[in-house]
Amino acid sequence: MLQGVANFGIGTLVAREFRRAVLAFATLAVLSVPTQSQRAAPPEPQGYRTENYRAATPAGLAGAHTLSTAEAEALWRQRVAVFIDVMPHPPRPQNLPAGTVWRDKPRFNIPGSIWLPDTGYGELAAPTEAYLRMGLAAITTNFRMKALVFYCQRDCWMSWNAAKRALAWGYGNVFWYAEGTDGWQEKDLPLERAQPFARSMIPGLLLLDPISPGAAFAVVVGALREAFPVSPTLATLWLLSALALGGVLLFGWQRLVRRI
């Protein structure tokens, strides 16, 4: 009985996502109109773009659907796709004088988007690649036909790179919105202040991410800061206390087993 209910629930979820994918395709069939600017665009490269990211982009991406602003708006209003922003997030400069107050430059993107910053470079470090790969898996719940719309700004190769990676990883319903937030804003469409997608929201990131122990520790501290608004020192003390408690419990358990 329970197995039947579970199968019914899974089947319903798959059917719903399939209907959304079909609706996304149908929307594009109605709205797709090539433009002169697209016909004058540079050709696609064989691999990823690894330099000069703010430059004219190709008219499209092989295997993906290229969106105009009207098409992107239609998908957004119908809520049949996940919008993924890959705009970089400027880090805090390391050489700031002590006591300097650092304020991040705000990023305003399409409402409801998932911001996966720094994932559109041509070459990704192992932690960043794991962040993108496992972030997409978490967002789509591993449903590879989920409609995904990648964007950043106009004349920005980073969204092109990220969409190309998604295709290489087996996602079969990839959209590229080349105009990004520039085209969106020009049409007086809404924007909202964005926050990067927290690493703590990605199950198993540290387990599968091939990084050094020091880097892993830094990621854990960063996740704690996102989950609990405390200072890095307190977050570190909390983590060390948890590890110490775990060691004490393990030692006590081993002594108990030996007595038995």
pLDDT by residue (tens digit) across 24-76?
655 555 454 444 344 578 899 999 999 999 999 999 999 999 999 999 999 99
Structure tokens at 43: 């050709």
Residues 126 and 212 in one domain: no
Residues 182 and 242 in one domain: no
Structure tokens at 228: 């609990």
43 vs 46: CA distance, rounded Å = 10
> What integer pLDDT is reported at residue 254 of this predicted model?
65
Residues 260 and 163 in one domain: no
186 vs 241: CA distance, rounded Å = 51
> What integer pLDDT is reported at residue 170 of this predicted model?
94
Q: The domain that contains 102 carries what CATH number?
A: 3.40.250.10
Reported as a pLDDT band with limits 50, 70 and 90, residue 199 is confident
- Residue that is last in its domain, among 166, 181, 197: 197
Residues 102 and 170 in one domain: yes
Residues 127 and 230 in one domain: no
Reported as a pLDDT band with limits 50, 70 and 90, residue 83 is very high
Residues 244 and 124 in one domain: no
Q: What percent of the chain has pLDDT over 70?
A: 65
Answering whether pTM is above 0.85, one says no
- Secondary structure (3-state) at 187: coil
Say how many domains are in the chain.
2
- Range of the structural domain that residue 236 is part of: 202-260
Residues 50 and 72 in one domain: yes
Residues 235 and 186 in one domain: no
Query: In the chain, which ranges are continuous DSSP H helix?
Result: 2-31, 36-39, 69-78, 126-140, 157-168, 180-186, 205-208, 213-227, 232-259
CA 245 to chain centre: 34
Residues 229 and 177 in one domain: no
